[in-house]
Amino acid sequence: MNIIECRSLTKVYGATKVLNNLSFEIQENKITGLIGRNGAGKTTLLKIIAGYFRETSGEIKIFSERPFNNLLVSANVIYINDQMNFPAALSLKEILDVSSTFYENWNHELSDRLFDYFSFQPTQQYINLSKGMKSTFNMIVGLSARCALTMFDEPTTGMDAAVRKDFYRALLKDYIDYPRTILLSSHHLNEIEDLLEDVLLIKDGKELLHIEVEDLKEWGIGVQGPTTAVKEWIKNREVIHSKNIGLDQMYTVVKNVDSELDKQKSQASGLLITAVSSSDVCVYLTSKTKGGIDDVFIKD
Partner 1 sequence: MSLSRISLQEVVKRQYTYKLRAYIQVFMSLVFIQVLGILFSFNGVGMMGTSSNTFDISVHFYSADIVVIFTLLWAFISAILITTQAYRNDDFAFITNRLSSNLSNMLFLLTISLVGGLTALLSSHIMRILMFVLGQSEYLYTPTEVSEWIIGLIATVLYVLLFAAIGYFVGTLVQLHKIFAVLLPVIFFGILILGAGTMNEAIFRNVFEFIFEESSLALFMVKIGVLAALLFSGSALLSNRMEVR
Partner 2 sequence: MLSFVPIVIVVIMVIAITSLLVNLTKRSSKVLFSGSRIRWMFVGYLSILLVCTGLSPMLPKGEITYQKVDVNQLERDSNELYEAAIQGNIENVDSKYFVKTRNFDYTEKQLNIAVVNEDFLSASIFVERKTTNDGKIEALHYQTGSGLNEMSISDLMQPLGINIDKNTLMLENPEKIKLEFSQFQQAFPINQFTGKGDFSDTNNFYGGTSILYLKIPKDLELNNTYEIDLQYVE
Residue 259 carries which DSSP code? -
Is 287 near partner 1 (CB under 8 A)? Answer: no
CB of 26 vs partner 1, minimal distance in Å? 13
Is residue 178 close enough to count as binding partner 1 by CB under 8 A? Answer: no
- State the number of CA atoms in the 13 A half-sphere of 63 facing the CB: 18
Q: 125 contacts which partner out of partner 2, partner 1, none, CB within 5 to 8 A by kind? A: partner 2
Site for partner 1 in 33-52 (CB under 8 A): 47, 50-52
For residue 5, state whether it binds partner 1 (rule: CB under 8 A): no
Q: Does 177 bind partner 1 (CB under 8 A)?
A: no
By CB under 8 A, residue 137 contacts partner 1: no
233 lies in the binding site for partner 1 (CB under 8 A)? no
Q: Which of residues 91-130 bind partner 1 (CB under 8 A)?
A: 94, 98-99, 101-105
Residue whose CB is less far from partner 1, 99 or 286: 99
Residue 289 partner contact from partner 2, partner 1, none using kind-dependent CB cut-offs of 5 to 8 Å: none
- Each residue of 40-50: b (16+ CB within 10 Å) or e? bbbbbbbbbbb
Which of residues 12, 23, 61, 75 is near partner 1 by CB under 8 A?
75
Nearer to partner 1 among residue 37 and residue 180 (C-beta): 180
**Cα–Cα distance measured from residue 143 to residue 106, given in angstroms and rounded to the nearest whole number:** 9
Can you tell me the distance from the alpha carbon of 72 to that of 241, in angstroms, rounded to the nearest whole number?
44
Q: Which does 47 bind (CB under 5 to 8 A by kind): partner 2, partner 1, none?
A: partner 1
| Beta pairing partners, 188 | none
With beta carbons less than 8 A apart as the criterion, state whether 252 and 241 touch: yes
Q: Which is nearer to partner 2, 98 or 275 (CB)?
A: 98
271: which DSSP letter? P
**Which residue, 90 or 234, has its beta carbon nearer to partner 2?**
90
Q: Which amino acid is at 132?
A: G
Least distance to partner 1, CB of residue 136, Å: 16
Closer residue to partner 2, CB minimum distance, 89 or 268: 89
Check if the beta carbon of residue 192 is closer than 8 Å to that of residue 245.
no
Phi, psi of 178 (to 5 degrees): -140, 85
- In angstroms, the CA 16 to CA 247 distance is 40
Judged by CB under 8 A, the residue of 69, 123, 130, 259 near partner 1 is: 69
Footprint on this chain of partner 2 (rule: CB under 8 A): 85, 88-91, 94, 123, 125, 127-128
| CB-CB neighbours of 75 under 10 Å | 15
Task: Provide the pairing of β-strand 239-245 with 198-203.
Answer: unpaired
> Cβ 99 to partner 1, closest distance in Å?
6
Q: Which one-letter amino acid corresponds to residue 142?
A: G
Question: Dihedrals φ, ψ of 244, to 5°?
Answer: -85, 135
How far is residue 35 from each of residues 135, 206, 208, 241, 287, measured CA to CA in Å? 19, 12, 10, 18, 12
Q: Which residues bind partner 1 (CB under 8 A)?
A: 1, 28-29, 47, 50-54, 63, 69-72, 74-76, 83-90, 94, 98-99, 101-105, 148, 180
